[in-house]
């Protein structure tokens, strides 16, 4: 009866195809006030004056608020960001004032009328500029900011928000063993999540001090914790409700609009307010993906054994740090990719610039290091005159060979799975051990490129999850977890896990879709591809708890020891005689004997989970365990390149990944393909372009391009199952991973096709033309 490994449709699928599903902004309450922001038109400057008079004159306006109304500092790593700018603006698009009005258009009209004057300061527009001696300081008072965590090391008087180091092995020895050394420099621009649902939130504050928040978020419990800390409230007074989310990709993990909406509600006596980003605000005002500049030096012996690796990452955090330091750290700790390298030296600098600030983005930095390492491996393969396929296979990280990660974690079968198996498998989908560049017609070249991937989470060392199971009178179950359904199908996967454990049909499991912090157990954050693993473990433990109670009660009714009982099909029965049973429906709300007397009460299963054995990394060497099991895999892309006009088509894209256990094949495949699509978008078209004033030029979907229908290649996705001992049924994370190697595989394929080194993304025909011709006609 197991539901594991079955294509169970999403529990909310019918609601989604009928339009009945409610996202946060679909819920509208009468009397709601609307908030609109006036945002900065200066990327770096002192706010000289804010003239709000004209805004007050717009009919319907209830409040106009500037940063000094409720000055607080926020940040999950460094508390460096006021939700509404105070004294100074640090990026174009930063909120400077807000208006609360009866209707949305009145609020907008008033916000448009606010006049703000700035005295501009010199801008820092790239990591390189941030590091120049005497560079303008984005944060003059960096040294005075409070830290939200211990292991972050901002350098006062500089633009360095954090510096993560890896010192593994002996570099001198490593280089001396190398016969071939290659180097590369890489860049990836900042870009946006583009969840189709823009961020939006409603907040009201009741007279008794209760704060009601309703948000499109990946992190309802985080909102509760954070608002309590930032505004000195009682956590128990904050109730966060979070319905289904219309795409998130990391962008809805941080607390963002919630701060402003809370301030706005305070300003109108606690009335309910709504703040919903326009697409332009979602891109230019709310946090984005980090940018990256990097230098890589990699050496190997003549037979292609990697010996030494030096990595320098310069991460463009933007105006505020948010989680960018953690992503820089992630790059440092995983920068080798899934390869064994004995000697590793890495400096990852997380830098402030006057670009929009960053937050977590699908892959959490792992796409960045993958691009750098995988491009460099292809350069090494050329230098060694070895096939890129063999080079990767030769160095694939594997258990039992004394391999360790850059942070010196011992590699085991459980914590890394089987990369070699993935590499062999992908070769059946896209031939990679063969000629990777073929001229198929006069102007046409077919070329292939590959990239290995790996990722583990970079969660807090004490991240938790929980699950509660209650029963209906008909014997079916309600599962309540704190995980958000953001499109990954996680809640259906959890229902499958529970159905399997309870040995029942999955349609007998009902899952609570919205999360409410008052009634749903805390789940750290729906990020890091850890939801199925963490919440899955909590669900299993809750199921154990419920089963124990069912068997205890069953043993009384059936008059046998609990050890003699089994459960299945909504019954508890005697193993020796399955016809001797009690149905769940007759016992989950208490068992009533014939005479009317009852025992048992209602059955409520509870389960919890906490990440185990994670440590913070040593400041000097990076030694430590940052995440639980890695998920490894390999990706490949086939392109058709037109040598005449330098355009190209995406022909095929493949992924083989070791996900430990496939809970729902169709869903898993879909999530991986979605990641691949996004990765191809980043490789081929996505990235911010800035005007001379520092503002984003492509801040709408007219100009910020994402993949559209018809541009997709043929996708091929296969899975390997090497269980992770600590995952539910051996499952590993997979939600983000599809994106990781796509930019690298694409750039590798196109480098081969074009004959020019493509060390930056996005790669379009003009870039290729420029590199090939120098940009002259």
Partner 1 sequence: MIPFDFDYYKPDTLLEAIDLFQDLSEQGKMPMYYGGGTEIISMARANSIYTGAVIDIKGIPECCEFGFSGSNLVIGSAITLTKIVESGLFPMLGITIGRIADHTIQGKITLGGNLAGTVIYRESVLPLLISESQVVIAGNYGTRQAPISELFDGRMRREPGELIVKLIIDSTYTNLPFFHRKTTKIDKIDYPLVTVVAMKKDDRILAGFSGLCDHPFRSIEMEDSLNEKGLTREVRIKNAMSHIPAPVQEDIHGSGNYRRFVLNNILMDVLKM
Partner 2 sequence: MMQLCGTDTIELEVNGEKRKVTVRAADTLLHTLREKLGLTGAKPGCENGDCGACTVLLDGWPIKSCLMLAAEAVGHSITTIEGLKNAPMQKAFFENWGFQCGFCTSGFIMTCHALATIHPGADDDTMADWLQSNICRCTSYEEIQNAVKQVLGKGDSSGVQGVVSMKEK
CB atoms closer than 10 angstroms to residue 419: 29
- Which of these ranges, 440-448, 594-602, 619-627, 675-683, lies near partner 2 under the rule CB under 8 A? 675-683
Both structure tokens of 754: 């074009």
Q: Min. distance of Cβ 40 from partner 1 in angstroms? A: 16
Q: Is 651 in the site for partner 2 (CB under 8 A)?
A: no
Query: From the list ligand FES, partner 1, partner 2, none, which binds 265 (C-beta under 5 to 8 Å, kind-based)?
Result: none
Assign 137 to helix, strand or coil: coil
Q: Is 25 in the site for partner 2 (CB under 8 A)?
A: yes
- Which of these ranges, 161-169, 189-197, 334-342, 587-595, lies near partner 2 under the rule CB under 8 A? 189-197
Residues 106-135, mask of contacts with partner 1 (x by CB under 8 A)? --xx--x-----------------------
Q: Min. distance of Cβ 196 from ligand FES in angstroms? A: 4
140: which residues sit within 8 A by CB, 6+ positions away?
Answer: none
Q: Which of residues 689-728 bind partner 1 (CB under 8 A)?
A: 689, 697-698, 702-703, 705, 708, 710-711
Q: Is 167 in the site for partner 1 (CB under 8 A)?
A: no
CA separation for the pair 69, 224 (Å, rounded): 21
Q: Is 441 in the site for partner 1 (CB under 8 A)?
A: no
* Alpha helix (H) residue ranges in 132-256: 171-176, 220-230
Q: What is the full DSSP assignment across 501-529?
A: HHTS-GGGEEE--SEETTTSPP-S-S-TT
Are 109 and 100 contacting, i.e. CB atoms less than 8 angstroms apart? no
Q: Is 195 in the site for partner 2 (CB under 8 A)?
A: yes
Give the residue with the Cβ less far from partner 2, 391 or 682: 682
Q: Min. distance of Cβ 370 from ligand FES in angstroms? A: 24
CA separation for the pair 660, 234 (Å, rounded): 41
Give the residue with the Cβ less far from ligand FES, 198 or 323: 198
Q: Min. distance of Cβ 536 from ligand FES in angstroms? A: 23
Q: Is the dihedral of CA 473, 519, 243, 522 positive or negative?
A: negative
- 582: part of which helix (H) or strand (E)? strand 577-583
| CB-facing half-sphere around the CA of 23: CA atoms within 13 A | 20
CA separation for the pair 636, 652 (Å, rounded): 8
Give the residue with the Cβ less far from partner 2, 147 or 279: 279
Q: What is the full DSSP assignment across 747-768?
A: HHHHHHHHSS---BS---HHHH
Give the residue with the Cβ less far from partner 1, 63 or 107: 107
Select the residue interacting with ligand FES from 136, 247, 270, 569 (CB under 6 A).
Answer: 247
Q: What is the full DSSP assignment across 339-407?
A: B--SEEEEEEEEEE-SSPPB---TTTTHHHHHHHHHHHHHHHHHHHT--HHHHHHHHB--TTTT-B-TT
Q: Min. distance of Cβ 247 from ligand FES in angstroms? A: 5
Query: From the list ligand FES, partner 1, partner 2, none, which binds 770 (C-beta under 5 to 8 Å, kind-based)?
Result: partner 1
Select the residue interacting with partner 2 from 1, 51, 59, 105 (CB under 8 A).
Answer: 105
- 264: part of which helix (H) or strand (E)? helix 257-267
Are 678 and 635 contacting, i.e. CB atoms less than 8 angstroms apart? no
Number of residues that bind partner 2 (CB under 8 A): 56
Residues 491-530, mask of contacts with ligand FES (x by CB under 6 A)? ----------------------------------------
Give the residue with the Cβ less far from partner 1, 675 or 683: 683
Q: Min. distance of Cβ 535 from partner 2 in angstroms? A: 18
Q: Min. distance of Cβ 487 from ligand FES in angstroms? A: 5
Q: Is 278 in the site for partner 2 (CB under 8 A)?
A: yes
- Which of these ranges, 133-141, 457-465, 574-582, 664-672, lies near partner 2 under the rule CB under 8 A? 664-672
CA separation for the pair 225, 235 (Å, rounded): 6
Query: From the list partner 2, partner 1, ligand FES, none, which binds 521 (C-beta under 5 to 8 Å, kind-based)?
Result: none
- Which of these ranges, 81-89, 109-117, 247-255, 497-505, lies near partner 2 under the rule CB under 8 A? 247-255
What percent of the chain is helix, strand and coil (3-state, nearest 5)? 30, 30, 45
Q: How far is CA 203 from the centre of its chain?
A: 25
Select the residue interacting with partner 2 from 222, 304, 487, 695 (CB under 8 A).
Answer: 487
Both structure tokens of 126: 């790239």
Q: Is 645 in the site for partner 1 (CB under 8 A)?
A: yes
| Distance (Å) of CA 198 to CA 246, 287, 319, 682, 739 | 8, 12, 21, 19, 21
Give the residue with the Cβ less far from ligand FES, 62 or 252: 252
Q: Min. distance of Cβ 664 from ligand FES in angstroms? A: 16
Residues 181-220, mask of contacts with ligand FES (x by CB under 6 A)? ---------------x------------------------
Q: What is the full DSSP assignment across 646-692?
A: --EEEEEEEEEEE-SS-S-HHHHHHHHHHHHHHHHHHHHT----B-T
Give the residue with the Cβ less far from partner 1, 401 or 702: 702
CA separation for the pair 478, 471 (Å, rounded): 6
Both structure tokens of 660: 């430990």
- 330: part of which helix (H) or strand (E)? helix 324-334
Q: Is 487 in the site for ligand FES (CB under 6 A)?
A: yes
CA separation for the pair 678, 289 (Å, rounded): 13
Task: Please list, residue by residue across 324-361, b when 16 or more beta carbons sit within 10 angstroms of its beta carbon and e when fewer do.
Answer: bbbbbbbbbbbbbbbbbbbbbbbbbbbbbbbbbbbbbb
Are 260 and 273 contacting, i.e. CB atoms less than 8 angstroms apart? no
Select the residue interacting with partner 1 from 16, 22, 105, 173 (CB under 8 A).
Answer: 105
Q: Min. distance of Cβ 654 from partner 1 in angstroms? A: 22
Residue 351's φ and ψ, nearest 5 degrees, are -120, 140
Query: From the list partner 1, partner 2, ligand FES, none, which binds 674 (C-beta under 5 to 8 Å, kind-based)?
Result: partner 2
Select the residue interacting with partner 2 from 42, 194, 292, 511 (CB under 8 A).
Answer: 194
- Which of these ranges, 93-101, 469-477, 670-678, 682-690, lies near partner 2 under the rule CB under 8 A? 670-678
Give the residue with the Cβ less far from partner 1, 301 or 647: 647
Give the residue with the Cβ less far from partner 2, 458 or 535: 535
Q: Is 644 in the site for partner 1 (CB under 8 A)?
A: yes
Select the residue interacting with partner 2 from 486, 550, 629, 746 (CB under 8 A).
Answer: 486
Q: Is 18 in the site for partner 2 (CB under 8 A)?
A: yes
- Nearest CA to 351 out of 133, 123, 154, 628 is that of 154
Q: Is 5 in the site for ligand FES (CB under 6 A)?
A: no
Assign 263 to helix, strand or coil: helix
Give the residue with the Cβ less far from partner 2, 101 or 244: 244
- Which of these ranges, 94-102, 304-312, 673-681, 762-770, lies near partner 2 under the rule CB under 8 A? 673-681
17: which residues sit within 8 A by CB, 6+ positions away?
Answer: none
CA separation for the pair 350, 367 (Å, rounded): 16
Select the residue interacting with partner 2 from 70, 328, 671, 745 (CB under 8 A).
Answer: 671
Q: Is 325 in the site for ligand FES (CB under 6 A)?
A: no
CA separation for the pair 757, 347 (Å, rounded): 24
Site residues, partner 2 (CB under 8 A): 9-10, 12-23, 25-26, 28, 105, 194-198, 244-249, 278-279, 486-489, 666-667, 670-671, 673-674, 676-678, 700-702, 706-712, 714-715
Site residues, partner 1 (CB under 8 A): 104-105, 108-109, 112, 644-645, 647, 684-685, 689, 697-698, 702-703, 705, 708, 710-711, 762, 764-766, 769-770, 773, 775-777
């Amino acid at each position: 009866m197991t539901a594991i490994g079955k294509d169970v449709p999403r529990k909310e699928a019918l609601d989604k195809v009928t339009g009945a599903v409610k996202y946060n902004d679909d819920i509208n309450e009468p009397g709601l006030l609307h908030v609109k922001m006036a945002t900065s038109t200066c990327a770096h400057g002192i706010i000289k004056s804010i003239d709000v008079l004209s805004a007050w004159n717009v009919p319907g306006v209830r409040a106009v608020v500037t940063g000094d109304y409720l000055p607080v500092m926020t940040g999950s790593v460094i508390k460096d960001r006021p939700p509404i700018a105070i004294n100074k603006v640090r990026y174009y698009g930063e909120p400077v004032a807000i208006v609360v009005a009866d209707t949305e258009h009145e609020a907008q009209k008033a916000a448009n009328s606010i006049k703000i004057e700035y005295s501009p300061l010199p801008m820092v527009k790239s990591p390189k500029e941030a590091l120049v001696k005497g560079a303008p300081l984005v944060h003059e008072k960096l040294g005075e900011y409070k830290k939200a965590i211990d292991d972050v090391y901002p350098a006062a008087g500089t633009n360095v928000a954090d510096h993560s180091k890896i010192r593994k092995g002996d570099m001198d020895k490593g280089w001396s063993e190398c016969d071939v050394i290659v180097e590369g420099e890489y860049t990836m621009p900042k870009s946006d999540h583009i969840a189709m649902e823009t961020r939006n939130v409603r907040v009201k504050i009741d007279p008794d001090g209760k704060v009601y928040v309703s948000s499109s978020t990946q992190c309802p419990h985080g909102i509760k914790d954070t608002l309590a800390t930032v505004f000195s409230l009682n956590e128990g007074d904050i109730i966060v409700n979070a319905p289904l989310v219309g795409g998130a990709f990391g962008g809805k993990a941080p607390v963002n609009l919630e701060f402003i909406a809370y301030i706005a509600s305070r300003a109108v006596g606690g009335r309910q307010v709504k703040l919903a980003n326009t697409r332009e605000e979602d891109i230019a005002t709310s946090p984005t993906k980090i940018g990256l500049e990097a230098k890589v030096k990699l050496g190997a012996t003549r037979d292609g054994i990697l010996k030494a690796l030096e990595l320098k990452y310069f991460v463009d955090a933007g105006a505020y740090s948010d989680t960018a330091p953690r992503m820089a750290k992630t790059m440092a700790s995983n920068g080798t990719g899934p390869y064994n390298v004995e000697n590793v030296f890495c400096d990852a600098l997380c830098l402030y610039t006057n670009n929009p600030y960053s937050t977590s983005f699908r892959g959490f930095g792992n796409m960045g290091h993958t691009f750098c390492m995988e491009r460099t491996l292809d350069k090494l393969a050329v230098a060694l005159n070895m096939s890129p396929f063999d080079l990767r296979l030769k160095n694939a990280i594997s258990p039992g060979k004394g391999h360790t990660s850059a942070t010196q974690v011992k590699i085991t079968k459980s914590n890394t799975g089987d990369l070699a198996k993935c590499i062999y498998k992908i070769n059946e989908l896209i031939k990679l051990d063969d000629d990777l560049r073929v001229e198929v017609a006069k102007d046409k070249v077919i070329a292939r490129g590959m990239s290995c991937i790996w990722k583990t989470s970079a969660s807090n060392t004490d991240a938790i999850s929980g699950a509660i199971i209650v029963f209906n009178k008909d014997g079916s179950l309600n599962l309540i977890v704190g995980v958000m359904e953001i499109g990954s199908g996680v809640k259906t996967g959890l229902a499958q896990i529970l159905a399997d454990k309870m040995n029942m049909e999955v349609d007998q499991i009902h899952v609570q879709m919205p999360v409410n912090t008052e009634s749903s157990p805390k789940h750290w954050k729906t990020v890091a591809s850890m939801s199925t693993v963490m919440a899955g473990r909590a669900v299993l433990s809750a199921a154990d708890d419920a089963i124990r109670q069912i068997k205890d009660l069953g043993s009384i009714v059936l008059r046998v020891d609990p050890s003699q009982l089994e459960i299945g099909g909504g019954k508890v029965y005697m193993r020796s005689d399955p016809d001797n049973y009690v149905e769940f429906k007759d016992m989950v709300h208490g068992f009533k004997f014939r005479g009317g007397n009852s025992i048992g009460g209602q059955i409520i299963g509870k389960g919890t989970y906490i990440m185990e054995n994670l440590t913070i990394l040593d400041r000097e060497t990076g030694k430590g365990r940052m995440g639980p099991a890695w998920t490894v895999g390999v990706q490949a892309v086939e392109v058709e390149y037109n040598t005449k006009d330098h355009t190209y088509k995406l022909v095929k894209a493949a992924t083989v990944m070791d996900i430990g256990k496939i809970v729902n094949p169709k869903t898993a495949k879909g999530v991986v393909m979605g990641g691949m699509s996004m990765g191809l978008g980043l490789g081929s078209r996505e990235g911010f372009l800035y005007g001379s004033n520092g503002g984003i030029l492509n801040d709408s979907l007219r100009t910020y391009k994402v993949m559209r229908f018809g541009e997709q290649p043929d996708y091929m996705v296969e899975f390997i199952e090497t269980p992770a001992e600590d995952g539910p049924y051996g499952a590993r994370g997979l939600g983000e991973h599809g994106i990781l190697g796509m930019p690298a595989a694409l750039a590798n394929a196109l480098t081969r096709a074009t004959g020019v080194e493509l060390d930056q993304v996005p790669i379009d025909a003009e870039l290729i033309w420029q590199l090939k011709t120098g940009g002259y006609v």
